[in-house]
Structure 1
Amino acid sequence: MQKPPLLTARHALFLDFDGTLADIASHPDAVQVHPGVVPALRTLSGYLGGALAIATGRTRADIDHFLNPLQLPLASEHGAQYRLAGGVEGGVPAPDLAPVLAVLQPMLDRHPALVLERKSAGVALHYRQAPELEARCRAAVDHALAQAPGLEVLQGKCVLEIKPAGPDKGRAIADFMRHAPFAGRIPVFAGDDVTDEHGFAAVRALGGIGIKVGPGDTQAQARCTDTTELREWIFQMASPQGLPA
């Protein structure tokens, strides 16, 4: 598998956050962003004419907090919410999550190591600090979904995401590629999890390149061994000598 190529002004770049731009932490709030990331993204976004977006399971508020003061184009909550260039926003209506929370709360009360991350369009059940509870978490989530038509589960790294059925990172990337400044460019998407495979499939279908961060089977054509290598790729391109004029 090839290393990520250096981008040109003809590319559009989409980046996952956790496990890609930032190392995965034991708790979602404990993530640390390398101090060089924000200035590098600002430089790279300028070079790409603004065609740089974050495609993540995180909420908009999370990403704006971690990448402050940048407010990049954003597909948050696995594409359930959009922020395009020029102030254009969109997304799916927020579902009724009360039935889901009613099912999950008793298990959270019994197992304090579990973390429930609430979002505008869904919830994420993290069991990173209690991996032995994976089967119980999956059973509880399946039961919760039975009470909430129109929702689906997305399995990630030690996390089960309950989200509206339909939106995913691949659809988000395809939608972004129909709007300026992304339209007419070659899409590149970097991600680390099975939840990013929709994005890899989308960029391949559009003649672009997927970059898998870390090990595992993938549809991506390029790979970085870890987040450090992915960030070094970004830093290289953001340096004065890193990109063609």
Structure 2
Amino acid sequence: MKSHPEQLLKDLSEREDLFLAFDRDGTLVDYADHPDLAVMNEELKKTLLALARLSGVEIAIVSARSIKALERDFDAGDGVSLAGNYGLEVRLRDGSDIVEAAIAEAIPELKTILQRLEPLAGEDTGGIIEDHGLSICLHWHRIERNKMSFVREQIQAIREDLDKVRFHDYPTSFEFIPDIDWSKADGLRVLESRLGLLERDVFSLFFGDTDSDEPGFEWSHARGGSSVRVGSPKVASIAKYRLERPAQVGELLSRLLELRRSRV
């Protein structure tokens, strides 16, 4: 894995067609104590929009967040495609929407889970619920240690009733998502197909910061593309390049924009 992707930048500046896809939180935006406080830097947003307006460049965000949440960053018509809930829902750059049909059976169960999680959120307990519509995340990093045993008991009770929904236990959150074979790689495949990239010689590059982004790296490599993992270099990854902070992603994209513009 390379720490300074100078060669990658050179390759990107010379390729005719690019598909640049990004995880959001931890990759483009620093993590915050509350999800609502993780706001995208305006300069980064301008850079992404400018890249999206260039001929031969496709920009996409592939996130665990919902499309509704991602639309706080990019409006329909901005030229940026959004893949929410790992790509289970997609809003293409032209504003058209796609939702994975296989998740329909899980929606009623997710609504029930949301109701059961509500007592774990708020001031009394300290949890933060993100209702993504097609998935639910309970952030527990604010919950006091003496309350965690109670929280885990409630989570276990919910898990025992799961049928159409899958559970993920992450370092600071619990996630409930439809129980189907799906990852960000599948979301990228949907984008690739619907954006017409299969018919073009496109160089793909996926940026991510957690293990849930690794399938996206693998997808990009299988198509002759590349990948960048953001975060500690001590964490194992199949990504070909490494950056330590979201700010460095912004710097790389600013330089890429300058190089692409200089070709005209």
Using structure 2 for the length normalisation, give the TM-score.
0.81
Percent identity over paired residues: 22
Compute the displacement of 1:19 (Å).
Answer: 0.7
Report the Cα distance in structure 2 between the residues aligned to 1:127 and 1:31, rounded to whole angstroms: 16
1:24 lines up with 2:31 in the alignment: yes
Compute the displacement of 1:109 (Å).
Answer: 6.0
1:213 lines up with 2:221 in the alignment: no
Report the Cα distance in structure 2 between the residues aligned to 1:205 and 1:76, rounded to whole angstroms: 23
Aligned equivalent of 2:81? 73
Report the Cα distance in structure 1 between the residues aligned to 2:80 and 2:168, rounded to whole angstroms: 25
Compute the displacement of 1:190 (Å).
Answer: 0.3
Report the Cα distance in structure 2 between the residues aligned to 1:186 and 1:88, rounded to whole angstroms: 24
Report the Cα distance in structure 2 between the residues aligned to 1:11 and 1:59, rounded to whole angstroms: 25
Aligned partner letter, 1:75 = A
1:174 lines up with 2:176 in the alignment: no
Counting matched residue pairs gives 245
Taking structure 1 as reference, are residues 229 and 88 closer, same or farther at Cα in structure 2, changes over 3 Å only? same
For structure 2, list consecutive stretches of 5 or more residues without a partner in the other structure.
Answer: none
Structure with greater Cα Rg: 2
Equivalent of 1:222 in 229, 233, 241: 241
For structure 1, list consecutive stretches of 5 or more residues without a partner in the other structure.
Answer: none
Aligned equivalent of 2:98? 90
Using structure 1 for the length normalisation, give the TM-score.
0.87
Equivalent of 1:154 in 159, 165, 168: 168
Larger helix proportion, structure 1 or 2? 2
Query: Which runs of structure 2 are paired with 1:50-199 in the superposition (5 Å)?
Result: 50-68=57-75, 70=78, 72-92=80-100, 93=104, 95-96=107-108, 97-108=110-121, 111-130=124-143, 132=145, 140-166=154-180, 167-183=182-198, 184=200, 185-199=202-216
Taking structure 1 as reference, are residues 181 and 39 closer, same or farther at Cα in structure 2, changes over 3 Å only? farther
Compute the displacement of 1:36 (Å).
Answer: 0.5
Q: Which moved more, 1:61-70 or 1:40-49?
A: 61-70
Q: Does the 8 Å CA contact 2:204/2:224 hold for their aligned counterparts? A: yes
